[in-house]
Amino acid sequence: MSAQSDRAAEDFLRHETQFHLGFLPTEQSNPLTRDLEERFHESPAAGVRCLQRVDREVLAMAQRVFASAEYRKLEETMLAVVRSGHHVVFSGCGATGRLSILLEGMWRDAVERGKVPREHQDAVFSIMTGGDFAMIRAVEFFEDYASFGARQVQELSMVEGDLLVAITEGGETSSVLGTVQEALRRKCAVFLLFNNPAELLARRIERSREAIEDPRVTVLDLSCGPMALAGSTRMQATTSEMLVAGAALEECACVLTGREAPDWPTEFGKLLDALEASLCVQALADYLALEASIYRRGGTVTYFADRFLLDIFTDTAERTPTFMLPPFRASGDTASPRSWSFVKNPRFTTAETWRHVLNRPLRCLNWSAEELRALGAPEGMAVRPPAISVDDMLKIRIGNEEVAERCESSEDTAVLLTLGTPSEELALAYETLARAFRKYVRADLRQWGLPTTPATPLELLDHLAVKLALNTVSTGTMVLLGRVKGNWMSWVAATNKKLIDRSARLVSELGGIDYAEAVRRVFAAREEIAAMPPEQTPPSPVQLVLKQLH
């Protein structure tokens, strides 16, 4: 350990105690999946059933929350804001940031398809910590600064009469809480959704208490216990937030169009029943075993999609920080390793694809060094601002360009992933590009057993079905490949304070050392990894430390 990493570790131990989060349920191991690794090695189907146990906790939460006065207030406020011509803004970071963008995209897509009146096209917006580029790759340490979230509210020009729906799985993400404080300053209505007990957060974390106890903030406590994969809040936490926030938005669309909304807990329960049926369990197990075998032999998977591209993109992008996989690489970058999975739209170019799935221009950040310093960013970030502009985002070719780099080996596989029969245009475009691959697959999630859901303007239940299926596939695949220990994601990137804490707790548990020593070793491992050549696939700090500890 160098003197620099030792100082950084000591600073984290002494001065960042608000990021020591092992007491939160969302950061703990779920007893329902303690044998997750064992079950997957017994059989992929047994592993799928083990993973699915925890989704029932989301249903129990939904039955409680949908009957609450706070949820009814969210529905009523959202409808009033849209009818008045003001804006509903969802804000989040990481998985909840991608969810916020997805909710905006679902609304705008419904307008494009004539399911919501055109006059409400710009009723919904989203704030993703780090801007739209962060959909592709986490923008390192941005979530640690409340000032960054506040600045994004300012850039969206929120005013009195607007509504902010802030979503943070843990309930403590600084950048998201920063959007809350700035929206309150601007006299907006504010709702805060999170997945840990409100009382626990308010008692232990000062920044959370400030928001939770503010009488101007309406709190929706969506606690549903630990995740199926410990700490992986992209799973049940984000599912519950998508269900609750999405249902409120659907209710708004239904009222505006004279439709009757379904009973959400009942329909979500039916969706879980279908996913747990033997047909769907076996289909999920067979597919994830196939995908694991592709990666094991050095191949990659390229999903081709149209209708649910943003949903598939979200799951694919989130595999990188969760399992320490190579991130999406920019066009022309031949030094970095290829991402194991990727997603492309065979019908459109990259720029056209983003316009097609978002129905708005890209909103990326382009803050200067001076602006970053003014926001309190560390000098290293100000000197080398992250490359997160629109131009940087368009270098990640998710359109029909450059198929060759995704089919370099005989194991590289093209997968047409749909929910139902693909359109003729999509099928033809896929077949044209798939010819470059030696292996190609069609995966229709309806044929896997996902049900036909009630027709609503935003098709929320279909989006939830795709999310649940893909979460199972991506998690199960990584278990089979040895990137999960018990029910802990033992390959995890330590790219912000929360993940540094999570890495240290995992090292402490698996390595048999105390927390303080684990923190020091994680900081030393991060320094060692940073010095590795760019062409080398970096290991997880957790794995590096455990290897050193034998």
Mean pLDDT of 370-392: 93
At 277-310, the pLDDT tens digits run 999 999 999 999 999 999 999 999 999 999 999 9
Q: Where in the chain is the domain with CATH 3.40.50.10490?
A: 55-266
Answer whether 0.85 is exceeded by the pTM: yes
Q: What per-residue confidence (pLDDT) applies to 449?
A: 96
Structure tokens at 214: 């503010």
List pLDDT tens digits, range 113-155: 999 999 999 999 999 999 999 999 888 789 999 999 999 999 9
Residue 84 confidence (pLDDT):
98
Residue 489 pLDDT: 85
Supply 208's token pair.
């959370």
The confidence score (pLDDT) of residue 19 equals 85
Q: Rounded to an integer, what distance in angstroms lies between the CA atom of residue 86 and that of residue 71?
A: 20
Q: Per CATH, the architecture of 277-317+327-480 is what?
A: 3-Layer(aba) Sandwich (3.40)
Residue type, 333: D
- Among 11-15, 80-84, 128-132, 249-253, the minimum mean pLDDT is found in 11-15
For the segment 256-276, what is each residue's pLDDT rounded down to a tens digit? 999 999 999 999 999 999 999
pLDDT band at 540 (very low <50, low <70, confident <90, very high): confident
Could you write out the three-class secondary structure of 183-201?
A: HHHCCCEEEEEECCCHHHH
What pLDDT shows up at residue 496?
82
What local confidence, expressed as pLDDT, does residue 402 receive?
82
Of the pLDDT bands very low, low, confident and very high (cuts 50, 70, 90), residue 537 is confident
pLDDT at 39 over 80: yes
**pLDDT of res. 404:** 92
What integer is the mean pLDDT of 521-538?
A: 87
Predicted pLDDT at 141: 84
For 233-238, what is the mean pLDDT?
96
pLDDT above 90: percentage of residues in the chain: 87
Residue 149 and residue 178 in contact, taking contact as beta carbons nearer than 8 Å: yes
Taking each helix axis as running N to C, give the angle between helix 309-323 and helix 460-480, from 0 to 180 degrees, rounded to the nearest 10: 30
- Counting residues of the chain whose pLDDT is more than 70, the rounded percentage is 100
pLDDT bracket for residue 175 (50, 70, 90): very high
> How sure is the predictor about 497, in pLDDT bands with cuts at 50, 70 and 90?
confident
CA distance 1 to 147: 32
**Number of residues in the chain:** 550
Asked whether 51 and 36 are in contact (CB, 8 A), the reply is yes
Contact 113, 100 (CB under 8 A): no
Which three-class secondary structure state does DSSP give residue 342?
strand
Residue 427 has pLDDT above 80, yes or no: yes
Residue 476 pLDDT greater than 80, yes or no = yes
Reported as a pLDDT band with limits 50, 70 and 90, residue 76 is very high
Rounded to whole angstroms, the Cα distance separating 325 from 316 reads: 10
As its CATH architecture, domain 55-266 has 3-Layer(aba) Sandwich (3.40)
Nearest CA to 305 out of 128, 466, 115 is that of 466
The string of pLDDT tens digits covering residues 177-211 is 999 999 999 999 999 999 999 999 999 999 999 99
Q: What is the pLDDT confidence band of residue 334, given thresholds at 50, 70 and 90?
A: confident
